Amino acid sequence: MSSTLLFRGGRAFTPDGFAEAVLVRDGVIAAVGAEADLVRLAPDAEPVDLGGGLLTPGFTDAHIHPVQAGLERAKCDLSEVYGLDAYKAEIAAYAARNPEKEWIDGGGWDMAAFPGGLPHRSQLDFLDRPAYFVQRDHHAAWVNTRALELAGITGDTPDPADGRIERDHDGTPSGVLHEGAMDLVGLLTPRPTPADVDAALMDAQAHLFSLGITGWQDAIVGSYAGSDDQLPAYLSAASSGRLRARVVGALWWDRTRGAEQIPGLVERRAMAEGLDRFRATSVKIMQDGIPENFTAAVIEPYCRCGGTGLSYVDPALLGGYVKELDAQGFQVHFHAIGERAVREALDALTGTDPGNRHHIAHVQIITPQDVPRFAELGVTANLQPLWATHHLQMDELCIPYLGEERASWQYPFADLVRHGTRLVGGSDWPVSSADPLAAMHVAVNRTEPGSSVHATYPTAQTPFLPEQSLDLRTVMTAYTEGSAWINRSPAGVIEAGHPADLVVLDRDPFALDRKDIWTTKVVMTFLDGEQVHG
């Protein structure tokens, strides 16, 4: 393609509204305005026909796990099927195709496919090898009896401090390992080689380009839940130029350690200095788990089962750690799902520098009194909108255990906006689809997109707390300008002087019925004016 491009034949999404055409010269947006004016500016520009679609800035995913996703796509990937019979068929076929593998491993199973959200080891005992399958949310693993035996896990094995071994009524491990207990088996699985990790990163990058994602924040760069440290892969890919996307790595906070790890995080950050496409300027603190397995930190006990979940980092120490990270110029990227974890994160961020652009991801449950604190403290809300629907996991494994009042506090996107909170958007892929347009559909409609695995569930098209819906401009801005801002990326807006990270959509979602937003697809993706997809 020419170094001078004229995008025309549709509309362009700009901070102030829409424009008729966009001129790009040498990888930078040169002008935005009427087509006739831009033709006069550059009569020899190569036209790029939008075909009546919409031109948007490249999307930035502010919370994602691409290397894990790429590795899972290369193993036994259960994310595209649903239900025990389908899982067993997929696993059996994979095992037959790979007779040389010592372990059968992969991921993507859905808790909602099993009674009470719990599969059983016996369901994998048809295999002649140990099996290890990470749950779709990456907060549990499903293993068979052989894997438990190899790990030496018995009824006498204690639960780790940051996890739980699910057990049968007689105390025998049932085959589900929650949170930190995943490592008891996960670390025994064959380690991917550097070449495997590099291939996973490149596969993930190509997939994300196909969805219009030109930048992201990797939400865990470090060793966690059986996964090896991804930092070497990013450093290698960025140094060689193979990493094209604009990426920030959130360095993993080891929740078994304290402030003594901060000098090591500073050293890891320095390893990426000078790289054009990768920086390690954020630190990820996972403060709790998820409500489906009762590890999300809540204030009042869960209904029916009791317990208030887990705070992985001692709240009495958390504030000191966060303030030291803040003083070192790190951005803090929290995982907080339960209302107690959200409050603990907000408390820890009180008095920190908003200029470091701290953010809290997931924010599933927020008490009404804590909603205003985001804007007051200058803390950004990192949304994963795909989760805010009546899907099976929500209706059968969340709401009954949260109770009516607390369930009504979930994903309060509109309330956050009303109080002036800055929003960014992420997917948590491979936990859920990386498709930003599907996420935007949910943020606007609070219903399942028609392509999702839960789309035919009886209440899938009943809006979930519809008063918390966002308008399309707000959520598209979160996935473009907002998420680019959280990464300190120069991209994210269609304005003169910004990099030409651009996406051509096959239709204009602003011209569609809101219930059809999910049907919008990416046709072409450009990074610095160079076409990387389509």
Is there a domain that residue 56 lies in? no
pLDDT tens string, the chain, 534 residues long: the values are 679 999 999 999 999 999 999 999 999 999 999 999 999 999 999 999 999 999 999 999 999 999 999 998 889 999 888 899 999 999 999 999 999 999 999 998 988 889 888 999 999 999 999 999 999 888 899 999 999 999 999 999 999 988 899 999 999 999 999 988 999 999 899 989 999 999 999 999 999 999 999 999 999 999 987 788 999 999 999 999 999 999 999 999 999 999 999 999 999 999 999 999 999 999 999 999 999 889 999 999 999 778 999 999 999 999 999 999 999 999 999 999 999 999 999 999 999 999 999 999 999 999 999 999 999 999 999 999 999 999 988 999 899 999 999 999 999 999 999 999 999 999 999 999 999 999 999 999 999 999 887 888 889 999 999 999 999 999 999 999 999 999 999 999 999 999 999 999 999 999 999 999 999 999 999 999 999 999
Q: Are residues 293 and 416 in the same domain?
A: yes
Is there a domain that residue 44 lies in? no
Q: Are residues 312 and 228 in the same domain?
A: yes
Is there a domain that residue 59 lies in? no
Neighbouring residues of 299: CB distance < 8 A, sequence distance ≥ 6: 308, 339, 340, 343, 367
Which CATH number characterizes residue 274's domain? 3.20.20.140
pTM summary value = 0.91
Is there a domain that residue 121 lies in? yes
Domain that holds residue 134: 102-187
Given 187, 210, 238, the domain boundary residue is 187
Q: Are residues 247 and 176 in the same domain?
A: no
Given 172, 187, 202, the domain boundary residue is 187
Q: Are residues 252 and 359 in the same domain?
A: yes
Q: Are residues 378 and 395 in the same domain?
A: yes
Q: Are residues 285 and 392 in the same domain?
A: yes
Residues 484-506 pLDDT 10s? 999 999 999 999 999 999 999 99
Q: Are residues 407 and 426 in the same domain?
A: yes
Quick one: which of 61, 67, 201, 64 has its CA closest to 484?
61
Distance, CA of 70 to CA of 206 (rounded, Å): 10
Given 163, 187, 211, the domain boundary residue is 187
Q: Are residues 182 and 199 in the same domain?
A: no
Is there a domain that residue 488 lies in? yes
Q: Are residues 147 and 237 in the same domain?
A: no
Is there a domain that residue 161 lies in? yes
Neighbouring residues of 382: CB distance < 8 A, sequence distance ≥ 6: 62, 63, 333, 359, 360, 361, 362, 363, 424, 425, 426, 486
Which CATH number characterizes residue 116's domain? 3.10.310.70
Domain count within the chain: 2
Distance, CA of 133 to CA of 91 (rounded, Å): 10
| Three-class DSSP labels, 439-479 | HHHHHHHCCCCCCCCCCCCCCCCCCCCHHHCCCHHHHHHHH
Q: Are residues 222 and 321 in the same domain?
A: yes
Q: Are residues 111 and 216 in the same domain?
A: no
Is there a domain that residue 415 lies in? yes
Is there a domain that residue 248 lies in? yes
Q: Are residues 183 and 200 in the same domain?
A: no
